[in-house]
Every structure is written in structure tokens, then in C-alpha cells.
Structure 1
Amino acid sequence: QKAPATDQLTARLVQARLFDLQGDKNRALAVYKAVARAPLDGIATPAKLGAIGLEMDKGALSPDQAAQQLEQLKWRWRGDGTELAVIRKLADIYLKQGRYREALDALRGAGKRLSGIPGATEIQADQSNAFRALFLEGAADGLQPVQALALFYDFRELTPIGADGDEMVRRLSRRLIDVDLLDQAAELLQHQVDERLDGVAKAQVATNLATVYLMDRQPEKALQAIWGSRTTLLPAAMNSERRALEARALMDLGRFDHALEVLDRDQSNPAREVRADIFWKQQKWAEAAPIYEARLGDRYKTAGTALTPGEESWLIRAGVGYSLAGDRAGLQRLSGRYGPFVAGARSAAAIRVALDDNLSGVAGTGDFANLSSQADTFVGWVNSAKQAFRKEADAKAAT
């Protein structure tokens, strides 16, 4: 039949696709390349796309080379399913190369312009899947936290509604906390509290938000986060954590008596730690020292393992507290138990002085000012808070 050239080329394009589907890749590639040389862009463009895909599969084209050709090809024919196919292939290459911004930019541009044609829903699905892979499945973990945050903000309209979207934000905020980008982490969590959550879920995220504000030395905002998310029937452990955070914020504001009222009879570890710090700030050495010693527990029984920085801070404060309170018996007990740890300690000199029984009841507050500054329990609390965020992230990843 003497069919028009357009119909003949269209038939050849269909033939190449059939060869491809039947597994005859070499014949398919030869036909694709022949059709791709046609001066009709509407037929040559899909043929060129088919040839690029097969050459990549054969290893004849590297991903960079293929991406370069597809970038040129997406301008050759526009406005229909062929352009969508080109962009989806290009975005797939970018994603596999870790070029996430280029991939999302390409998909978003096509999705906005071509929303009314068949196949547009697949572009939307590609964007959502790529965003999910980045911020829910860990693909963005290889990026620097600041880069991940910028990428999230630039494409935040892709954040899914519901639990998955909330978990994306929490995962990203944990990474920011880990590198002390506290303002940025707080902004993310504050948006969750204000706009997306209620009930127990809101209280949990608000608790994390209060922790971040305290780490950033903003106790007023920490109190606002706790007070603004109060609700009934919270788990006992969460209530205890929130009480400790509220008391710590009040302590930082100098409201010591109010802080102690909030703690009431709570004997959880976080509550005891805050209570000891409050007594310390009030210079109630006799009340503070036993609590710091109790926080160490039976740690003296494992002398073969070095003390953590937090444990060293508790030990120094316990020793200084007993000295300033004139409690020789307490200081002798502490020295006998923790003397073996001194040699391997990071703050060996400070611990040695803190445990020196000769200073008991003699040294004054001013003599221990420099020593106490080496036992900043706030730093230890921040480190433990970061560890808690990491454990939470690991637990989520395991499930």
C-alpha cells in the first residue's frame, strides 16, 4: 500500500515497540534509531526516547550521557504523553544519581503544565513517591541536614496528609537537632503542633518541641509548648517527662519553688535530676549531693568502664556538695567508691579535688566556683536528650 510517510513511520515505531516487548532488543534499537532520524518531531521524539532506554540497558550510554540527551529531547516535542514519558525517564535517572532537586524540579514543572492530559496522574505519583523516598524511607539521609531542610521546604507541598507526613517532619527535625540546628528544628515541630496535630499526638510532638526550646535556652517558649498541649489521659511516662521539662524551664527562669511544686513527689530519673539541679542553684548542698550520688546508682561496681561525661558531672557535684555541706561521711563514702575511676576520667583533676576529704567542711563556695563550672549538668542533659531523639529515630526505623 502506498501509505503516507507519516503513517509508515508511525507503523515502524509500533513495530520497534513490539520488538522491544518481545525481547528482540537489537532489532528494536535499529528501528528506533532509523525512525529517530525522521524530520517529524512527533514521531522522532518517542523513537529517540526508546533508543536511549535500550542503549542505557546495553551499557552503551552512561546515565550522565542519557540525562544530557533527555534534557535536549524534552524541548523537542512538548505538550502530550511523549513529553511526560521523557521527563519521567529523566527524573528516574536523576533520582538514581542522587540528584534529587533536579528530579523533583523536572517532575513539578511537567505536572503543573500537563495536568490535564492522560498520564499526568503518574507524574504526580512520581513526585509523591520521590518525596516519600527522600524523607520517609531515608534517601535524604545522605544529604547534609541543611540541604535536606532546604529541599523539604522547597517541595513541602508534597508532604502527605496524616501520619506519614508527620513522621517525615519528625525524622528531619531529629537530624537538625543532632547537628544543633535548633531554630530550624523548632520551626518544623511548631508547625506540626499548631497546624497538623491534636490530642496525644500533639502532646508528644509538643514535648519534643519543649525539649528543643530548652536545649536552645528558650524556657519561655518551652513552657508555652507544654502548657498549650495539655490534655487528659496521657501515658504516665509522657506525663512524667512533661513535668520534668516544665520544672526545668521554670528553674531556668529562676522560679525554683514553682518548679519543685510541679515535680511534687515524682521520683522518676528526669524529675530527680531536675530536683538536684534546683537544689544546687539554691545552694542547698545537703539536699543536692545525695540526689547526684543516687543518680550514679551502682555505677561504682563497674570500675573497668570509664564514666560518661554526664556521670562525671554528677560525681563532681556530689563531691562538692558533700564538701560544702560538711558531710565528711558522705564524702568518704563517695571517695571510696569512685576513687578507682579517677585515673581514667576525662576530668580527672576536677574529680580528684571534688573527692578530696581534706577539703570537707573547710572550703567555701567561692573556692569551688571553677570546679563546679566543669560539672555543667546542662551539657549532660542536652547530650542525653540528643541520645533519646536518636533512640526514638532508630526505633521508628526498626518498625
Structure 2
Amino acid sequence: MEASICPPEVVDAAAGAAVALGGYAAALAWLKAAPDGDPAANLLRGRIHMALGDPQEARLRLECVTISGDPGQRAQAELGLIQAGLKAGTLKGSDATTRLEALAFRWRGDETERATLRLWMDLAEQRNDTRQALRAGAALFRYGGPTATTGALLATLQSMLVAALSPGSGLPLDQSAGLLWDYRDLAPAGNSGDTLAYVLANRLQDAGLYGRAADLLDYQLQQRAQDIETGPLSIRVATLRVLARTPDQAVRLLRRTAPIRYPAGMTADRHRVEAAALTLLGKPADAMATLQDVPNARGIASEIYWRERDWTHLIATGEPLLPAPRNLSDVGQAIVLCHAIALSMLGRDAALDRLRGRYAAAFTNLPTAPVFAMLTDTRTPVDPARLGKAMTALPSATPAGDVGDLIDRGEAAMQALATPPPATPKTGARPAKAPGTA
């Protein structure tokens, strides 16, 4: 069948097959039968002239398609024009990237989109623009569909990501965090990917960006950690949530991961952090219930009762915690002094006299001796000003250990968010929420 009498679609198909085989002369011969304004034929003519090293003629043909073609043909023509401009040196790489980005936004779902994203990524790599390269490459990987080159593409993107997040990359911390968060699905599998996330989370935590560190590790927790691995990671993420002023999220996370069977010690650690979060949420009863099966939880319980001004329970819980009088540590002094305050608040003078007799000698050479003497002096009526002064002089140590420190830090963070910090903050004192004179 002669080309001159073939239907246009047959001519285009034959010419396209010839182009695919590299037979450009044969393709042009077939295209002589197509009308000069046929968009499909002009797309092929543009491709042929590009391949033959004539970008100017290619550009003329493709510009016609941008006027007369359907949306898909116009998208192909725009891509061809960008390629022709780059080949002829009449189009800057930055301008080409802008046009490719616009084309990728408005045309999706076929080979034109895949070629657009690939060229966008290649140009970004040439300019060492990792952010743009990852943006284009990630879109190609996520939405381009599986091809023979998908594995190589993923390996390239992972190498880019690892290099961008390495300590020597010079990328600011907030940008590093943004990159890993935006492209977390591209992170390497296994230990290398986990290490990448953990190192960045450590940097975020050291910078006080607790919420962003928690977000990053929560993704690891949900997507990568399995079974018992979730135990230590859930504790860390929950701790970060507390420090980020979101103890409610800490509680939800710990309860979400509760069905897994953890070793007893790990379960106890999870309950301790949950109790701290519940305390900060103003739910002391729930916190105490969480501690019910936690061994050696008296110190945490006494801290909670102290903060809630529950003097009766504080005395009952704190009595067994009272240390031996010899060589009182900061924690030991705090326990004794808090016990004395609780007894004073309840007017238990006889118990205060016994406490004075037991510990008077031990406090003699300690900086807190005047506070102890004031609190245990039953000859002087309970004075709100006296108790307030005692509060500011208490050691910052707490029998709750790390949990007490976490509550202190979480409470300080929440207070800083709610009110401006004082002009001259006091140091070395018990938390401001500790008992006053109700």
C-alpha cells in the first residue's frame, strides 16, 4: 500500500514504528503522505529532526503541535521543545526545570510524565540540587509504575538521601529533618535506614526539637519496628512527646503499643513514662493505677502525691522511704523535708517531734539545716510564709528518679508555653506546683 493513499492513522503508525527502529529516513518518507498540520505527524517529525541533530526544525514542528494538538499531544510537544532547547543551548537548565515542573503538574499518568520527571531529575543532579532531584525522582518512583529501571532509580535516590543527611553535607538541621520526613519511604531498608533516622532524631533532640524527633521515630515505630523492638522505641517516643508538651500523645502511643508482650522490666519502664504523662495531664488517679504493678514505685507515687497536695497519702507512702539518718543524700534530704511539710500541713505535731529527734543531728552540717529546723519546730504555728520559704529551699532531687525529672521537665515546658518565663528564675528548688498553703 502506497503511503500516499494510506489513512492518516496508518501513516502515523508506520512512521512511529520506523522511528522506534531508528529508521528516520523511512519515517520521513512515510510522513510525506501526512498533512503538514497533522499534530501526530508533527510530533514524529519533531522527534526525527531532534534525533538527526536539527533542533531548530524540531522546534518549529513541535510549536505547531502546541497550537493544534490535543492535551496529550501538547504535553508531548512541550517536553520535546524543552529537550530541543537544551540540546540547542537556547534554554537554561533553571528555566527548563521550571517548565518541567509545570508540565509534571498539569500532565500525569503516561510515558510523557515519566520522561518529564526523569529529565527534571537529571537536570537537578547536574546542578547538584539534591532537593529538586529527590522531588522529581520520588514522584517518578512513587507514581511512574514499575519498570526495568525502577530498582536502579531507588538505589540512586537512596544514595542521594544518605549523602544529603550525612554530617558533612552542610545541610541545616531543619532541612535535613524535612528531607528525611518527606522522603522517609525512600530510606534504605534494614540497619542502615534505621541508623539514618536515629542519628537525625538524636540531633533533633539535642537541639530541643522534641516534637520533630518524636514524629520521625514514631514513623520508625509504626513502619519498621516489630514486636519486642517496639518496647524501647515506644518509651523513647513517649518521652519525647512529654518533652514536646504533648503528654496526651505519649499516653495514646503507649496504649496503642500495649498489646505486645514485653519483658517485665520493659513493661514497667513503659508504665513509669505513662504515669509521668498522666500526672502532667492532671490525672493522678490514673497515674497511680498505672503504677499498681510496677516494682519499687513508691518514690514515683510520693512525687505524684506531693504535686497533688495529697498530704495523707504522701505521709503513708513516704514513711517507708525515710532514709537512715547517717550521710543524707540530696534525695534523702528531700524525702525528709517533704515528709515534714506534709506533717505540718496536717498538724501532726507529735510525728514532727519524732522526726526532729530522729534527724536533727543528721541535718546539723547540711545547707538545709535551717529549713529542717523551721519545719519541725512545733512551738511555732504553721505559717504560710514559712512554708513558702521552705519550698524554695528544698533540694531539686526527687525519690522518683528519672520519672521525677521527666515530670519536672515536662511541666516546665508546658508552663513555658503558657506563660513567659520569670525575669529571675530560681534554681535548685522543688517544682512550683509543689504544695503551698491551700
How high is the TM-score relative to the length of structure 2? 0.48
SS of corresponding position for 2:269: helix
Q: Who is 2:236 aligned against?
A: 208
- 1:169 and 2:190 equivalent? no
Deviations 1:341-384 (CA, angstroms, capped at 9, x unpaired):
63xxxxxxxx4553335644456483424643676768833689
Pair member with larger Rg: 2
Report the number of matched residues.
Answer: 284
Aligned mates of 1:145, 1:317 — CA distance in 2? 42
Contact 1:207 1:225 in 2 (8 A): no
Deviation at 1:239, TM superposition (A): 0.8
Residue range with higher mean Cα deviation, 205-214 or 147-156: 147-156
Q: Who is 2:302 aligned against?
A: 276
Distance 1:369 1:262, change over 3 A: same
Which residue, out of 257, 269, 285, partners 1:229?
Answer: 257
Distance 1:337 1:359, change over 3 A: closer
Aligned mates of 2:319, 2:124 — CA distance in 1? 67
Aligned mates of 1:315, 1:144 — CA distance in 2? 45
Contact 2:318 2:339 in 1 (8 A): yes
Which residue, out of 275, 278, 290, partners 1:262?
Answer: 290
Which residue, out of 309, 312, 320, partners 2:338?
Answer: 320
Q: Who is 1:286 aligned against?
A: 315
Contact 2:371 2:393 in 1 (8 A): no
Distance 1:86 1:209, change over 3 A: closer
Which residue, out of 394, 406, 414, partners 1:381?
Answer: 406
Q: Who is 1:356 aligned against?
A: 373
Deviations 1:234-255 (CA, angstroms, capped at 9, x unpaired):
1222111111122223333444
Contact 1:210 1:225 in 2 (8 A): yes
Contact 2:205 2:213 in 1 (8 A): yes
SS of corresponding position for 1:356: helix
Aligned mates of 1:260, 1:148 — CA distance in 2? 40
Which residue, out of 168, 174, 177, partners 1:149?
Answer: 177
Deviation at 1:259, TM superposition (A): 2.7
Distance 1:218 1:111, change over 3 A: closer
Contact 2:284 2:304 in 1 (8 A): yes
- 1:131 and 2:161 equivalent? yes
Deviation at 1:276, TM superposition (A): 1.7
Q: Who is 1:372 aligned against?
A: 391
Structure 2 counterpart of 1:128, which letter?
Q
Paired-residue identity, %: 18
Q: Who is 2:347 aligned against?
A: none
Contact 1:111 1:120 in 2 (8 A): no
Deviations 1:56-112 (CA, angstroms, capped at 9, x unpaired):
xxxxxxxxxxxxxxxx99999xx9xxx999987875xxxxxxxxxx44545765798
Q: Who is 2:110 aligned against?
A: none
Aligned mates of 2:356, 2:195 — CA distance in 1? 48
How high is the TM-score relative to the length of structure 1? 0.52
Distance 1:205 1:265, change over 3 A: closer
Distance 1:234 1:154, change over 3 A: closer
Unaligned runs of 5+ in 2: 1-52, 54-91, 97-114, 344-350, 411-438
Distance 1:233 1:324, change over 3 A: closer
CA root-mean-square deviation: 5.0
Residue range with higher mean Cα deviation, 158-167 or 358-367: 358-367
Deviations 1:219-239 (CA, angstroms, capped at 9, x unpaired):
332221111101343122211
Q: Who is 1:160 aligned against?
A: 188
Contact 1:289 1:321 in 2 (8 A): yes
Deviations 1:132-189 (CA, angstroms, capped at 9, x unpaired):
3555x6546x765433322323443432244443443333333323333233233223
Unaligned runs of 5+ in 1: 1-39, 41-71, 92-101, 302-310, 343-350, 386-399
Contact 1:200 1:234 in 2 (8 A): yes
Contact 1:324 1:360 in 2 (8 A): no
Structure 2 counterpart of 1:276, which letter?
S
Aligned mates of 2:172, 2:319 — CA distance in 1? 43
Contact 2:280 2:407 in 1 (8 A): no
